[in-house]
Amino acid sequence: MKAIVTITTFRGISFEAIHFYGTLQIIAGDDIELYRSITQTEIDKDPERWYGYDEGDLTKSFNSWKDIVIAAGDKAKEKGISLEEIFVEGIPNTGSLPYHEALKPIDTRPRCKKCGKVFESGEGCYNTPRGLFCVKCY
Ligand SMILES: [Zn+2]
């Protein structure tokens, strides 16, 4: 393994405010923060958030974790790192994955770490440092 893509999810107070941030951590090298260009559509849609920004300006805030995986892949190629040697961490409700696995369809619904049960929305569960557990398994 040569590098790890680390994804951080930011969940704001309002429901829509979910943003993703990513770093390409090169083993025995630098940590590179990932950026993307802002589109005019985004600025038009949320002028308050993008006040003072022009189309093409850079931001660390991504709209999906998948966009980060792709941006990290581009950055890795730029640095001469093979995608075969990259792992991705921080995809919601998912463990560490090889780069190519991270681009396949993934079930990111929250589930019990022990029995694998998928939680319905509003269903109670225990969120512990070891992971999420259903009421039966906790
Ligand atoms: Zn369970």
Centre of ligand 1 from the C-alpha of residue 123, in Å: 12
Task: Give the tokens for residue 65.
Answer: 């974790």
Centre of ligand 1 from the C-alpha of residue 24, in Å: 33
Centre of ligand 1 from the C-alpha of residue 16, in Å: 29
Looking at residue 89, its pLDDT comes to 95
Centre of ligand 1 from the C-alpha of residue 131, in Å: 11
pLDDT in tens, the chain (138 residues): 899 999 998 887 766 678 999 999 999 899 999 999 999 999 999 999 899 999 999 999 999 999 999 999 999 999 999 999 999 999 988 889 999 999 999 999 999 999 999 998 888 899 898 888 999 999
Looking at residue 17, its pLDDT comes to 78
Looking at residue 15, its pLDDT comes to 63
- Rounded CA separation 82/2 (Å): 8
Centre of ligand 1 from the C-alpha of residue 63, in Å: 31
List phi, psi (to 5°) of 132: -90, 140
Centre of ligand 1 from the C-alpha of residue 6, in Å: 27
Centre of ligand 1 from the C-alpha of residue 132, in Å: 9
Looking at residue 121, its pLDDT comes to 81
- Rounded CA separation 26/121 (Å): 37
Cβ atoms of 62 and 21 within 8 Å: the answer is: yes
- Rounded CA separation 91/87 (Å): 11
Partners of residue 25 on adjacent β-strands: 4, 31
